[in-house]
């Protein structure tokens, strides 16, 4: 009785094994617990493969029709929650094929002609990652739109620009928001580039060497929306570059989200008060009733760790593998699944926070005028109006900053006599450049913070996103 049971357990493997696997081996070997997420891609690939087998005369049209209908039944069972996933069948491929054979009998056994699980999983996984690239692009576009709306609202609102988290020069709120639009646009292009590169179909590469059956790989590639079949069967089954590219793009994107999350944490603090986050994205304290914690931003800041960890993990899996397929590569999917889920959740949460946040315009403007933020404007004026070399202008401005700091005031508060004490050529005209509004309006170079430049960039991005 035991021998019969063991033989049944290995029916999908064939006659090579006389006894069943140990329970622990079954547990470590099985991937159905996570790769069942590939069911839709697996069934789509199998339907395309069956249609091609019939078109090339490898199986009969009747068998292909039975396979196609049977696979749709399997799909409906999975989506309806009535399908039983079996660990003894290892993975999604054998689970689907076994159920198909239960449903239609002999024709189901012909489905695997001219292919292997090696090219099958490579195809399924590419299809899944390709879908995730599309989802990421869509999520990024929505987030870019949220930042763009903030930029348009505050195109001429002044705020401090920072280097080293110290006040540097006045900038506009719109300009700061557009910086993230630029970052996210690069993320979007990375996913698009990765999608284009991965859009080749491994199906038909079989185990590693191709197949002796007269298959039409171009037909299956076209049916599955690929640009072409992969050109080398060894590379086809051993390549996971597409997953690594997706993870790499996800890591860079998550880093960008983490940077803005950090700004939200700082800006929403009582010390800054640059923005207000609504109750949707904050939590309270169990003992301090006054607290309003930016937990969503803090969690987003941490999500990079998971995504970057998945990236490092898959690089580590792949780095020492000789061609072609090794079972190590089964460890690719959980990393990618988790990273994709984390990224999509992060994009959705960040879009919600950016759309919902309220900037405190008055505080931004007051802060923009602090920390001698127009010192560079003063130095530039000395160069333009008096013809000083910039290094000398820098020195003169520095001495005036020291004077203002000693007096406990800002540069515009110094009297003309105090200004001329640093250089006799300074005139009343200098006050025209010392206000923060004048400062930002003067930065009118392409890509600068001047409101006119900001509005031009907003118009460009609105057209592109539309």
**Which residue bears the tokens 């430049």?**
453
Out of 19, 189, 269, 285, which one is annotated catalytic? 285
Cβ atoms 404, 411 nearer than 8 A: yes
- The helix/strand/coil state of 127 is helix
**Pick from 84, 103, 96, 116: nearest CA to 44:** 96
Catalytic residue among 164, 212, 415, 445: 164
Q: Which helix H or strand E contains 169, and what residues bound it?
A: strand 166-172
Q: What are the contacts of 78-87 at 24+ separation with CB within 8 A?
A: 78/36, 78/39, 85/32, 85/36, 86/32, 87/26, 87/27, 87/30, 87/32, 87/33
How far apart CA 16 and CA 47 sit, in angstroms, is: 28
CA pair distance 24, 44, nearest whole angstrom: 32
In DSSP terms, 167 is beta-bridged to 162
Residue with tokens 């292009």: 189
164 is catalytic: yes
Cβ-proximal residues to 433 (8 Å cutoff; 6+ apart), any chain? 374, 377, 378, 380, 381, 439, 442
What gap in Å lies between CA 399 and CA 403, rounded to an integer? 6
* 3-state DSSP assignment of residue 359: strand
Q: Which of 286, 235, 296, 275 is nearest to 367 (CA)?
A: 275
CA distance 132 to 195: 9
C-alpha to C-alpha distance for 434 and 439, rounded to whole angstroms: 7
Peptide bond into 324 cis (omega under 30): yes
212 is catalytic: no
Q: Could you list the active site residues?
A: 164, 285
């Amino acid at each position: 009785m035991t021998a019969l049971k063991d033989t049944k357990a290995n029916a999908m493997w064939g006659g090579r094994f006389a006894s069943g696997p140990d329970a622990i081996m079954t547990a470590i070997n099985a991937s159905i617990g996570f790769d069942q997420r590939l069911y839709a891609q697996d069934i789509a690939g199998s339907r395309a493969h069956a249609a091609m087998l019939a078109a090339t005369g490898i199986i009969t049209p009747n068998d292909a029709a039975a396979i196609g209908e049977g696979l749709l039944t399997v799909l409906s069972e999975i989506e309806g929650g009535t399908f039983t996933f079996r660990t003894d069948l290892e993975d999604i491929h054998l689970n689907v094929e076994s159920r198909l054979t239960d449903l239609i009998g002999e024709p189901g056994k012909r489905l695997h002609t001219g292919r292997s699980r090696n090219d099958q999983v490579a195809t399924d996984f590419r299809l899944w990652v390709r879908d995730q690239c599309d989802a990421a692009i869509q999520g990024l576009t929505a987030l870019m739109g949220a930042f763009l709306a903030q930029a348009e609202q505050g195109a001429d609102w002044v705020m401090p620009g920072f280097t080293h988290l110290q006040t540097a020069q006045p900038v506009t709120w719109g300009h700061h928001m557009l910086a993230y639009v630029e970052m996210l646009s690069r993320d979007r292009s990375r996913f698009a580039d990765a999608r284009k590169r991965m859009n080749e179909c491994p199906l038909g590469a079989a185990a590693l060497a191709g197949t002796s059956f007269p298959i039409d790989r171009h037909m299956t590639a076209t049916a599955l929306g690929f640009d072409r079949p992969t050109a080398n069967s060894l590379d086809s089954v051993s390549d996971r570059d597409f997953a690594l590219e997706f993870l790499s793009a996800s890591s860079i994107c998550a880093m960008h989200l983490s940077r803005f999350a950090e700004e939200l944490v700082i800006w929403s603090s009582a010390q800054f008060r640059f923005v207000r986050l609504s109750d949707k994205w904050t939590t309270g304290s169990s003992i301090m009733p006054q607290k309003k914690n930016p937990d969503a931003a803090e969690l987003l800041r941490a999500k990079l760790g998971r995504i970057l960890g998945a990236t490092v993990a898959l690089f580590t899996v792949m780095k020492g593998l000789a061609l072609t397929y090794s079972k190590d590569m089964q460890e690719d999917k959980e990393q990618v699944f988790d990273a994709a889920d984390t990224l999509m959740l992060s994009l959705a949460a960040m879009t919600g926070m950016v759309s919902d946040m309220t900037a405190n315009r008055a505080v931004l403007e007051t802060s923009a005028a602090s920390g001698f933020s127009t010192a560079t404007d003063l130095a530039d004026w000395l160069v333009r109006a008096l013809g000083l070399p910039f290094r000398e202008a820098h020195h003169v401005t520095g001495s005036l900053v020291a004077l203002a700091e000693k007096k406990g005031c800002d540069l515009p508060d110094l009297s003309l006599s105090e200004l001329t004490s640093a250089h006799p050529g300074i005139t009343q005209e200098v006050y025209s450049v010392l206000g923060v509004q004048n400062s930002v309006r003067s930065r009118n170079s392409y890509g600068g913070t001047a409101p006119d430049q900001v509005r031009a960039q907003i118009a460009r991005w609105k057209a592109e996103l539309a």
